[in-house]
Amino acid sequence: MTDKLPYKVTLSIPFETHEQATIAKNTLSPDPIVKSVDEFNIEYEINDNILQILFSGASNRIIRVTISNTIDNLKTILECIDEFEGKQDHLFEIDGEKFTG
Amino acid sequence: MTVDLDKYLKPGKDHYIALGLEGSANKLGVGVIRHNQGQLTSSNRAEVLSNIRDTYIAPPGEGFLPRDTARHHRNWVVRVIKRALAVAKIKGTDIDVICFTQGPGMGSPLQSVVIAARTLAQLWKIPLMGVNHCVGHIEMGREITGADNPVVLYVSGGNTQVIAYSKQRYRIFGETLDIAIGNCLDRFARTLKIPNEPAPGYNIEQMAKKGKHLVNLPYTVKGMDLSMSGILANIDSIAKDMFGKQNKQLIDEETGEPITAEDLCFSLQEILFSMLVEITERALAHVNSNQVLIVGGVGSNQRLQEMMKLMIEDRKNGQIYATDERFCIDNGIMIAHAGLLSYRMGQVTDLDHTVCTQRFRTDEVFVEWRDD
């Protein structure tokens, strides 16, 4: 199968802790990225605090699209970690942010 | 027999709190709801602790595209969650379950919100509950209005369905065969290039109030279903004749007065809403009911409510229920409410089963919390 997917990229994302990396992996991994296994494959590995994501695809285009999407998702995950980790006992205060409703 | 909703109440607690995240279309909503233990009755209503929303508005003449909408949701989701928690004055440890919209809706906006739900659930070790968007509307409508077993007319930008409850399912009696009613109105707003703020349908409604002349349009009810794409094509071509290069002046046959854009909005609403009233009335007759509950974004349209009221008043003990824009238009609180009902029956969604889906029929949901 690997012969059919000649394009490969690995992202290594260092988190602060092993737990953070695990949360990120569990958040990303449920979503199927492309319908066909023949065109694309994604694997997640955790080494201590580093999340490694291995993309392999039939074209570089498919790799670009999926990496872009994964990075967008990682941004949300990181923002959640930054704002909410360890704060389950915290009362949030109303800030100056305006919403359109 | 009534369903026991308290089998899974945490020891030492007398209430439940749920956080709900909604992002299936251009609204990003987060809400916090509280249920006290026991049945939900008129003296023990669900309590809305917060209901925060931010809407992605596309420029005039354009619709909201999945990519841009997903970007909007990603940009705002954490801030909206923080505000919802702040307004509700609750801590993470108070929350029993985090509910999110699992479908139906636009794929990438849904996905951008579930990412936040999954992360938060793991950080705070709270279970997740996936919610069907349509069931969210129905349950919130029932809770707010107190309608116990109504025929539900669900009208929004993505959905048009007439629904009746039977044997623990919300069954679809009639629906659109092509585009949703809100989509039809929104797209006509784009043709006229009127603003999308606060909502295209709202602006059509305001213009329609000034319309007087009914322009002839097709009327396309097909049994219990309806079709709206042909009507849209028809009125679009009339508008193009009037405002395009041809600049053709249309005259009302009866009065000899010129037809305006306001008249077109008026006519479109009248035709579409008459079709809805017809299939709703037929559904009422089928299930022998006299209550109608209108939910969904288009449900906040005053003219639709008025037309439905005229129909229902002719029925014995007929009653119409509708909510205001806080609960009609997509919001997080309805997701929290419907998700909490499932949670109280012992349901939770494992991380591996939290994948969102664009197609998720209303009647796929097992309505375990009702037994009438």
Check CB contact under 8 Å for B112 and A91: no
B178 known member of a binding site: no
Q: For the segment A47-79, what is each residue's pLDDT rounded down to a tens digit?
A: 999 999 999 999 999 999 999 999 999 999 999
Please give the Cα distance from A90 to B281 (Å, whole number).
Answer: 51
- B7 to chain A, minimum CA–CA distance in Å? 25
pLDDT of residue A32: 86
B8 known member of a binding site: no
Closest chain A CA to residue B118: A27
Q: What is the largest CA-CA distance in chain A?
A: 54
Helix (H) or strand (E) holding B144: helix B133-145
pLDDT at B87 over 60: yes
Please give the Cα distance from B43 to B40 (Å, whole number).
Answer: 8
Question: Which candidate, B121, B120, B25, places its Cα nearest to that of B73?
Answer: B25
Helix (H) or strand (E) holding B266: helix B261-287
- A76 to chain B, minimum CA–CA distance in Å? 6
Q: Best interface-test mutation with A: which of B122, B300, B333, B355 has the largest number of A CBs within 10 A?
A: B122
Check CB contact under 8 Å for B74 and A32: no
pLDDT of residue B343: 98
Q: Which residue has better confidence, A38 or B315?
A: B315
Can you tell me the ipTM of this complex? 0.96
Closest chain B CA to residue A24: B119
Tokens 């059919």 sit on residue: A4
Residue B45, by phi and psi: left (phi above 0), alpha (psi -120 to 50) or beta? beta
Asked if A16 has any chain B CB less than 8 Å from its own CB, the reply is no
pLDDT of residue B147: 94
| A-chain residues near B81 (CB < 8 A) | 84
Please give the Cα distance from B294 to A92 (Å, whole number).
Answer: 35
Q: Of chain B residues 191-210, which have a CB less than 8 A from chain A?
A: 198
| B-chain residues near A97 (CB < 8 A) | 79, 83
pLDDT of residue A3: 65
Q: Look at residue B124 and give its three-state secondary structure.
A: helix
pLDDT of residue B212: 95
> Are the beta carbons of B320 and B312 closer than 8 angstroms?
yes
| A-chain residues near B130 (CB < 8 A) | none
| B-chain residues near A17 (CB < 8 A) | none
Q: For the segment B211-264, what is each residue's pLDDT rounded down to a tens digit?
A: 999 999 999 999 999 999 999 999 999 999 999 988 889 999 999 999 999 999
- A24 to chain B, minimum CA–CA distance in Å? 7
Q: What is the mean pLDDT of residues B259-285?
A: 97
pLDDT of residue B246: 85
What does the block give as tokens for B351? 């991380």
Q: For the segment A4-60, what is each residue's pLDDT rounded down to a tens digit?
A: 789 999 999 999 999 999 999 999 999 987 667 788 899 999 999 999 999 999 999
Q: How confident is the model at residue B337 (pLDDT cuts 50, 70, 90)?
A: very high
Please give the Cα distance from A48 to A52 (Å, whole number).
Answer: 10
Q: What is the mean pLDDT of residues B192-217?
A: 96
Check CB contact under 8 Å for B112 and A72: yes
Q: Break chain A into its structural domains and give their ranges.
A: 2-77
| B-chain residues near A88 (CB < 8 A) | 91-93, 123-125
Residue ranges of domains in chain B, CATH in brackets: 15-141+330-364 (3.30.420.40), 147-327 (3.30.420.40)
Name the average pLDDT for chain B.
Answer: 96
- The CATH superfamily assigned to A2-77 is Alpha-D-phosphohexomutase, C-terminal domain (3.30.310.50)
pLDDT of residue A39: 85
Size of interface A-B (CB pairs under 8 A): 102
| A-chain residues near B118 (CB < 8 A) | 26-27, 30
Please give the Cα distance from B153 to B285 (Å, whole number).
Answer: 14
Asked if A71 has any chain B CB less than 8 Å from its own CB, the reply is no
Asked if A3 has any chain B CB less than 8 Å from its own CB, the reply is no
Nearest to B83 among A28, A77, A97 (CB): A97
Query: Which strand ranges, in their side-by-side order, compose the sheet holding B128-132?
Result: B47-55, B27-36, B15-22, B97-103, B128-132
Asked if B366 has any chain A CB less than 8 Å from its own CB, the reply is no
pLDDT at B131 over 70: yes
Q: What is the mean pLDDT of residues B81-103?
A: 98
Query: Which strand ranges, in their side-by-side order, compose the sheet holding A40-47?
Result: A7-14, A50-57, A40-47
Asked if A36 has any chain B CB less than 8 Å from its own CB, the reply is no
Q: What is the mean pLDDT of residues B114-124?
A: 98
The C-alpha torsion from B228 through B230 and B231 to B235, rounded to 10°, is 140
| B-chain residues near A92 (CB < 8 A) | 82-83, 85-86
